[in-house]
Every structure is written in structure tokens, then in C-alpha cells.
Homo-oligomer: A and B are copies of this chain.
Amino acid sequence: MSLVITPLLDIPLIKTGDDLVQIIWRGLRKNSIQLDDGDIIVLAQKIVSKAEDRWVNLALVKPSFQAIELADKIEKDPRLIELVLQESNQVIRIRTGTIIVEHRLGFICANAGIDHSNVAGNGDQSSDWVLLLPKDPDASAQAIRLNLENLNGVKLGVMIIDSHGRAWREGVVGVAIGISGLPGLVDMRGKRDLFGYTLRITTIGAADELAAAASLVMGQADEATPIVHVRGFPYPLREGNLKELLRPKEQDLFR
């Protein structure tokens, strides 16, 4: 079976308090897609954050002494750095223009995932607004999934993704930051390989592979969309979560 990833076109701009379930539902209808058992809906982090009102007005942020010092060192806005520190467990690397942290959700990313490139606090075009990641993306994905399943009577997966830079390789790629109803990892250890005679020793980052695929479809300049529909995910759906995908600190060679 093919893996088919379909962008939902004509999704309206998302505002604080919007009901994403209704928006996804209408988007599916507009795009003539009927949900089926095993389908997955992938959402860009941005619209979840917006619906959940994760906007912060920088004008109201009072940077700490630590934030001011750090911001000075890397030549960034101290108010932004204050938010980055508030959203992080630990600073991992800094250099001019760049701060890479362990986000409070556990993953490593630049700027704590705070979005300053798309500046518009509910229509306000001033550049003082930034958008934080959802508070609990697994829970957000779960709530959306259960509501969508109730509307349909089918078993679904829902995933929230963001674009992260990577060690060693150029270019951002889509990664999972919130998961419900699909596996984060798929354990192939003990399975026979392609050729039937050797045991595999690999664990596959299946949700991240799907996140990358979905991001590819979302990422276009002209017909961009924050919601995609996935059919043909090749592994069985099950409860899953972000934590599966996060390597414990003490096992990580690259912090």
C-alpha cells in the first residue's frame, strides 16, 4: 500500500480559542477526504499554539539579569532570551545569534521553539509578539484525537510537529513534538531483515519519519498548509508519546 500524504488546502488562519477539531473536520470535508481506520492527522505546531493562545507580548517581558547577560553575549533580544530560559531546562550551546537548549518538554532545539519569524499576535502586526510551543503537545494531540474519533467512530493518530535544525546536517526537518495514537518508536529488534535471514538490531524513529514526510508537504511556499492527512502509515497504531523519542541525557554523546 502507498503512503499518501495530503495537504488540506483552504484552512483558515487560526486564532486564539479556535476549535481545531472543527477546523480539521471542515478541512477534510473541503478536501473530500473521509477518515478511515488507521489514518493520521498531522498538525503544524504553530496552529496549536495559536489556538491555545501561546502568544507573548515581548513588551511585557522583564528580562532577568541572567537573560540580559546571555542576550548581550549572543546579540539577541534579552526579552526573547528571558522567554527561552523560562521555556528550557538547560542551555546546551550558544554562539552569536544562536541559542540551543533542552526545552522543558525534553527535546533539544534552537530558541526553545519560540517563533519570532511569524509575528502577529492575533492580527497585531507589531513585531513584539512571539509564539511559544503548546504547553503539553501530547495532551493537545490526545484531546484532538479523541474528539475526532468520537465524530467518526474510527481509530486515528494525531501528531503535532515542528521543524528542527540538526547536528551535522544543514536544513531543518519536521520532527514530532506531540503524539497521540501512533508509535513514537517502532522496535525492529529481533525481526528478520529484508532478506529473511538476519536479525535486525534497529529501533526506527517512525513518528519522526512521518513528521518529516508531513513537513515536506506542509512546507511549500505557495500552497502552504498547517494540516495534512496521512493514509497508509505502515505500522500498527497504538498509544504513543513524545518521550519515546527522547534519548535520556546520560545516554547522549552529543550534549
Contact = CB atoms under 8 A, between A and B. Distances in A.
A245 B169 contact: yes
A98 B251 CA distance: 12
B235 A220 contact: yes
Interface in A220-250: 220-221, 224-226, 233-235, 244-247
Q: Looking at A95, A171, A213, which has the most chain B CB atoms within 10 Å of its CB?
A: A171
Given A5-B213, A208-B169, A120 B253 contact: no
Given A170-B205, A171-B185, A208-B169, A216 B245 contact: no
Contacts of A200: 117
Contacts of A170: 184-185, 203, 205, 244-247
Contacts of A171: 184-186, 203-206, 208, 244-245
Q: How many copies does the complex hold?
A: 2
A194 interface: yes
Q: Looking at A2, A169, A204, which has the most chain B CB atoms within 10 Å of its CB?
A: A169
Contacts of A3: 4-6, 213, 216-217
A193 interface: yes
A167 interface: yes
B118 A194 contact: yes
Interface residues of A, number: 76
Contacts of A209: 173-174, 212-213, 215-216, 219
19 contacts: A3-B4, A3-B5, A5-B213, A93-B254, A95-B253, A107-B169, A108-B167, A117-B199, A120-B197, A169-B245, A170-B184, A171-B185, A171-B186, A171-B208, A174-B209, A204-B215, A210-B212, A211-B212, A219-B234
